Chains A and B, each alone.
Chain A
Amino acid sequence: MKNKGLGEFEELVLLAVCILGETAYGISVKNEVEKHSGRSVLLGAVHITLYRLQDKGLLESEMGGNSKKRGDRRKRLFKVTSQGMRQLKTSQEVRQSMWEFIPQLKPSK
């Protein structure tokens, strides 16, 4: 898949998966995004985004970690791929370089 750029929400979700490492799944990602962004997020939105990112090849996943709390159902654990990591870095760099061109933010001479 070609490099297509990340949407804002996609980026947040991807970052959350990175932060969570081994324990990234629907709810933990949702909570992580909510914690950092301070806005409330619908579970469905998170799931759909996770799958979309997987389709783009930025995430990979496997099933595992069933618990009583979930009615003994397994969860899908997501992990960032190397492509995903690269994509994040790229978008970070793009922004950083653009930030540097904002005149108001330049230290006054």
Chain B
Amino acid sequence: MGHPNKRHLKIIYWLFYRFVGSPYAEELMGDLEEIYEERLMSKGKRYASLMFWLDALHLMIGFSSFRDFKSKNNQLALLKNYLKISQRNILKYKFYSAINVVGLAIGICMTMLIAIHVRNELSYDTSYPKHQLIYRLASTNYAAKPPIMGLEFKEKIPEVEEVARLFAFEPKVLSYEKEDLLVERPFLADHSIIELFDLQFIEGNEGDALTKPSSIILTESIANRLFKPGEKRIGEVVDFDDGWRQTVTGIIEDFPRNTHLKLETISSMERTYIGQDTDRGWAALSIYVLFKSDEAVKRAEEKLMDFQIQFFDGMASDEDIKKHIEETGEYLELHPLTDIHLHSHRNKEIETNSNVMFVYILAALAGFILLVVSINFINLYVAQTLNRIREIGLRKILGAYRLQLIFQFFSEAFLLVFLSGILALLLAYLTLPFYNDLALIPISIHQLLSIQNLTGLGVLILMVGLLTGGFPALYLSKLHALQSVSGSGLQLGGKLPFRTTMVAFQFFISVCMLSATLIINEQMDFIETKDMGFSKEEVIAVQLHKELKLEAILYPEKIKSELKKHPQIQSVSYSSHLIGKRFSLEPTYLESSPEHHVPTKYLVADQDLLETMDVEIISGSVNTDINSRQFLINETAARLFQRENIIGETIVNSWLPKKGEVSGIVKDFHYASLHNQVEPLVIEISDNSNAQYYLMVRLNTKEITSGIATIEKALLDIVPEALITPLIIDEQMELSYRAENSMFSIFKFFSSIIILLACIGLFALFAFIVQARTKEMGIRKTLGASLTQLISVLSRSYAIILLIAAALAVPLTHLYASRWLNSFAFSVSPSWATYLLPGTLVLFLAMIAVISQAFKVAKINPAESLRSE
């Protein structure tokens, strides 16, 4: 037996009681409930509920107008008349009404999507209950710090409640029995992370999870993929990354989407070499600190400098340390957790963060779109109402108060805006999948229909309604009755400076948007085609783990030679890191000057890497004969070591410690994104596969997919059970521009919509204006004006306005574009065409709209246009 939702019943009962009267409420409600059940049986719940509401509303409207309402409420009867007149007007000018409503709907829909998007961005990391008291201990340029710093910070700063240290592993394979699973974001963390971020346990006990060495907690989605349903999970031993056996001590809820900590598995840091390392220069861990109170944060901030000096105590005198800190500009800082996503772009971030600038840009876009459609709406609506001046006059003569007229126009505007709002919601629902393709965080339907969003929509409707209804309501209601009935003394020609200014403003925005799009396009092209110093196309990386790793350690040459047998494969090499991702930072120095440490990026690879990645050696060469360790360094590193002739010098890696001779210098290549300058790099040439985590393969063919298939097959022939995860380097590199790419596609999308809307608006408005000047054109024609003269009379003023708008747009765009371009270490300088083209294009489009209309009117036979009256 089904009954309608209790809450719905209550609402409807109240409405009936309020508007229809209690005598009817009982029977009507009874009927509604009865019919609901019938429909539930025959057509299902959704249909039944929908019809329930529809019927209820219908009954309510029918009864309220039918009964006492009519006699009691003159105002309401009048409202009904207004709505009827509006309805007739809408139908009379179908074309304009459609443009009005649809245009506004598009605008509202886009604004809504952007608003949700922006809210997503701003809500980052706010879902943790203690987020306001959590800070990240980091420095000016590095988001990660040495492991020991976290421990000392807790020990020495009494304001600290708790510290949790996090280490992000490269993707690793997790196995349980026969099941292998690639975990993209495995982490190592202190037990305290549970308290800091209030991790929600589904299984397991939060008190003991992660307290013992080699224990692990899994997120729900990982656990569900690894274990079969119903299997015992807590206490089971899983294999983490080739033989590191860990006990599952907890299953936690997945991390929310709006956090920069998208942890998938967390292994205990207890007694790991990473957690206990005492090197004070190794920026490895993200350190999160929970403070006792807001004041505690302030007090702790004051102690940071002293703490930093103390931290390096013993390595040099306090004065020297201070001087060193000032020289390098590496100050310790506390970053509020919630600021990280939008404001932090340091080295060693856990993920590539977004940028607060995108949020501003998006908000500005929403504002622009809303402005453009509102202007369209006002222009068209006003143009339409000017045709109705006689109606207003008549109403006045029949005794309408000014207030009533104002009310009429507002109710009419609200009707249109309300329709647009409903349409916008529908439109948003339909375009959601498309928008989600563009944006990085998907928007759910749930968010679209959330109370906040609907309230926002309501406010928006109210605002736009007031704005658009305002002009006709206040201006037209002021007119003198006789004047408006006779129609004299009114300017229909649209010489309202107000309106032309608005049109100009629309085009100003359009031109801005278009040139911005072109500039972004140029920069993105530049990134894609810039010579990176190596060729990233057609290079595939395969991660080495488990069986594959073992095979590589035992028979490094076998894998290479087997792969090279395939004609599609040009060269194969081993590498410790993925080119395009961050390398580890390891301080090195020359043995001849041990006091001069240079923080260099460090890569271990075999000598074939140069061929695979197509990196050029500019001096020296790899010595294939010797067995001792040898290094290649890049140009930047060579410069920083400050040696005339560095080849043959001995380099010491102070962190591992390893040493060997420099045997060559390679050309600088952009192994990270173009946001950064090329950093100093040391490549250790080694055939020892212990340190190698990737197999880099260069294909001979452009057919990446078939190339990957070949690699997979070849590797499976060698190691049948291996889990092979090929990565395309080109794509990996593109990930660093993910934020830009997403912004770019959103920008492109919106700028085309804005331009389209602006042109449609101009087209419709101009159609109206031209129509009003039909007679004038007829007279001009009889007096001997030619077709071209007529068109020029009609369109000249608009051409001038548009030209001014375009000219104003250029400097503004230039200002903002150069700011964005400065965020790249390497950027294009936009050409003149980038600034000129959009103006010309928009002008061209607009003039097509204008001239096509002008042409239509100018062609009319004056006998036709002058006949009436």
Contact = CB atoms under 8 A, between A and B. Distances in A.
Interface of A: 25-27, 30, 42-45, 47-48, 51-52, 63, 66, 69-71, 73-76
Given A47-B63, A73-B33, 4 more contacts: A26-B27, A42-B54, A43-B58, A51-B63
A47 B34 contact: no
B593 to A, nearest CB: 92
Given A69-B37, A70-B34, A71-B3, A48 B26 contact: no
B366 to A, nearest CB: 40
Q: Chain A: interface secondary structure?
A: helix
A70 B62 contact: no
B59 A73 contact: no
Nearest to A71: B33
Contact of B34 (A27, A45, A51, A52): A27
B330 interface: no
Contact of B31 (A45, A47, A63): A47
A63 B30 CA distance: 12
Given A70-B34, A71-B33, A44 B27 contact: no
B4 to A, nearest CB: 9
A78 to B, nearest CB: 11
B62 A44 contact: yes
B33 A47 contact: no
B31 A25 contact: yes
Interface centre among B29, B54, B58 (most CB of A within 10 A): B58
Nearest to B61: A44
16 contacts: A25-B27, A25-B31, A26-B31, A27-B34, A27-B35, A42-B54, A42-B55, A44-B62, A44-B63, A47-B28, A48-B66, A51-B63, A69-B33, A71-B9, A74-B26, A76-B27
Given A48-B62, A48-B63, A43 B35 contact: yes
B32 interface: yes
A45 B30 contact: no
A43 B30 contact: no
A25 B30 CA distance: 11
A106 B66 CA distance: 44
Contacts of B37: 69
B8 to A, nearest CB: 13
Nearest to A42: B58
B31 A43 contact: yes
Contacts, number: 66
Interface in B28-63: 28-35, 37-38, 54-55, 58-59, 61-63
Contacts of B29: 71, 73
Contact of B27 (A45, A52, A75): A75
B66 A74 contact: no
A69 B30 CA distance: 8
A67 to B, nearest CB: 8
A45 B62 contact: yes
A43 B55 CA distance: 6
Nearest to A46: B31
Contact of A73 (B26, B38, B54): B26
A43 B26 contact: no
Contacts of A52: 66
B449 to A, nearest CB: 26
Contacts of A42: 54-55, 58
In order of increasing CB-CB distance, the 9 nearest A-B pairs are A73-B30, A44-B58, A70-B30, A26-B31, A44-B59, A48-B62, A76-B27, A43-B55, A44-B62
Interface string B102-135: 0000000000000000000000000000000000
Contacts of B30: 66, 70-71, 73-75
A73 to B, nearest CB: 3
Interface of B: 3, 9, 26-35, 37-38, 54-55, 58-59, 61-63, 66
Contacts of A48: 59, 62-63, 66
Contact of A45 (B26, B28, B33, B58): B58
A76 B3 CA distance: 21
A95 to B, nearest CB: 28
A63 B63 contact: no
B31 A75 contact: yes
Contacts of A76: 27
Nearest to B54: A42
A71 B32 CA distance: 10
B27 A74 contact: yes
A71 B29 CA distance: 9
Contacts of B59: 43-44, 47-48
Q: Which one of A30, A52, A66, A71 has the greatest number of beta carbons of chain B within 10 Å?
A: A71
A51 B32 CA distance: 17
Contacts of A75: 27, 30-31
A74 to B, nearest CB: 6
Nearest to B66: A48
A70 to B, nearest CB: 4
A75 B31 CA distance: 7
A69 B29 CA distance: 12
A63 B63 CA distance: 18
A63 B22 CA distance: 14
A73 B13 CA distance: 12
A44 B24 CA distance: 12
A61 to B, nearest CB: 9
Contacts of A51: 63, 66
Nearest to A26: B31
Given A25-B27, A51-B66, A44 B55 contact: yes
B54 to A, nearest CB: 8
Contacts of B55: 42-44
Contacts of B38: 27
Contact of A43 (B3, B32, B66): B32
A74 B24 CA distance: 11
A26 B61 CA distance: 17
Nearest to A51: B66
Contacts of A47: 28, 31, 59, 62-63
A50 B32 CA distance: 16
Nearest to B35: A27
Nearest to A44: B58
Contacts of B27: 25-26, 63, 73-76
A82 B53 CA distance: 36
A73 B34 CA distance: 10
A85 to B, nearest CB: 24
A70 B33 contact: yes
A47 B66 CA distance: 11
Contacts of A43: 31-32, 35, 55, 58-59
A41 to B, nearest CB: 11
A47 to B, nearest CB: 6
Contacts of A63: 26-27
A107 to B, nearest CB: 46
A48 B63 CA distance: 7
A29 to B, nearest CB: 10
Contacts of B9: 71
Contacts of B66: 48, 51-52
Nearest to B37: A69
B242 to A, nearest CB: 66
Nearest to A52: B66
Contacts of A66: 30
A68 to B, nearest CB: 9
A88 B204 CA distance: 78
A47 B58 CA distance: 10
Nearest to B26: A73
A92 B29 CA distance: 35
A44 B58 CA distance: 6
Nearest to B30: A73
B17 to A, nearest CB: 13
B724 to A, nearest CB: 60
B20 to A, nearest CB: 10
Contacts of B31: 25-27, 43, 47, 70, 75
Contacts of B28: 26, 47
B684 to A, nearest CB: 80
A47 B67 CA distance: 12
